[in-house]
Amino acid sequence: MATGEAVRLESVRKEYGRVTALDGVSLSFPRGGFTAVMGPSGSGKSTFLHCAAGLDRPTSGSVLLDDQELGKLSETQLTKLRRDKIGFVFQAFNLLPALTVEQNVVLPLRLAGRRPDRRRVAEMLGHVGLSDRRKHLPGQLSGGQQQRVAIARALVSRPAVLFADEPTGALDTRTAGEILGLLSESVRGGLTVVMVTHDPVAASYADRVVFLADGRVAGELLRPTAAAVAERMTHLGAWADRTPVGGF
């Protein structure tokens, strides 16, 4: 029974020892949407991403990914689900230095034991504009190029959701724009993108922005502009300052 939601979090709590990182977060991400998750440092953005992507298990509450309850899966099942349904793009490009661009891109398919489709790989590399860099090692590429390889790798297995963790954090403004353009282009192709960022400009590429503060959802903005997001963030910062976390 397919619903219109790619990812859904229900009252998710995550505690690290005595620190509460997520305090009952309920959110849903529609298919084919590009959502940016924003918040000041320590707001629980990263924890949210880890839990939503099945990289970490919440202390309580449930996460549904493509209508599948993650809490019931074993570590290996979870890994296989990640492999099939999720793509990742991280801030620090995270390519395997020993593998060429092409080998990095096909890696998820090979891990899944699938025969890499040459046409699909060529198409993905063409999509990110790196057709002529197939045989290069990551060390021989610029930061933006490496991030484009990471996007190609994330998209190659046709995932349901792409999670991006500060994908432009290490890039200059122009290169960042290219990367974000690539992501929103993918969304038009039917992909769901969830991006964690603290950059209002990056967030403005999304069609919806969710704000987190102190591990709780602190608001939402549809069809954002960079200015609106920045203003909201400033308020959030002030709001966070007034309300001390966990009785510190």
The minimum distance between CB 82 and other proteins, in angstroms, equals 5
Measured CA to CA, the distance from residue 225 to residue 229 in angstroms comes to 6
Measured CA to CA, the distance from residue 101 to residue 150 in angstroms comes to 9
Residues 143 to 172: which contact other proteins by CB under 8 A?
153-154, 157, 165
Q: Between 44 and 83, how does the x/- string for binding to other proteins read (CB under 8 A)?
A: --x--xx----xx------------------xx--xx-xx
The minimum distance between CB 209 and other proteins, in angstroms, equals 21
Which residue matches tokens 């959502």? 35
Using CA atoms, how far residue 214 sits from 14, 36, 107, 156, 162, in Å, is 12, 17, 37, 35, 25
Q: Which member of 3, 67, 96, 227 binds other proteins (CB under 8 A)?
A: 96
In terms of Cβ atoms closer than 10 Å to its own Cβ (0-12, 13-18, 19+), residue 112 is exposed
The minimum distance between CB 39 and other proteins, in angstroms, equals 16
The minimum distance between CB 144 and other proteins, in angstroms, equals 17
Which one, 38 or 164, has the nearer CB to other proteins? 164
Using CA atoms, how far residue 202 sits from 19, 66, 155, 160, 178, in Å, is 29, 26, 20, 22, 11
Measured CA to CA, the distance from residue 45 to residue 215 in angstroms comes to 8
Which one, 21 or 221, has the nearer CB to other proteins? 21
Half-sphere exposure of 180 (CA within 13 A, CB side): 25
Q: Which member of 60, 98, 114, 235 binds other proteins (CB under 8 A)?
A: 98
The minimum distance between CB 245 and other proteins, in angstroms, equals 20
| Contacting residues for 239 by C-beta, under 8 A, at least 6 apart | 213, 218
Which one, 133 or 153, has the nearer CB to other proteins? 153
Which one, 146 or 204, has the nearer CB to other proteins? 146
The minimum distance between CB 142 and other proteins, in angstroms, equals 14
Q: Quick check: 94 binds other proteins (CB under 8 A)? A: yes
Beta strands, E only, 101-226: 161-165, 192-196, 208-213, 216-222
State the DSSP code for 115.
P
| Residues in contact with other proteins by the rule CB under 8 A | 46, 49-50, 55-56, 75-76, 79-80, 82-84, 86, 88, 90-91, 94, 96-99, 103, 107-108, 110-112, 153-154, 157, 165
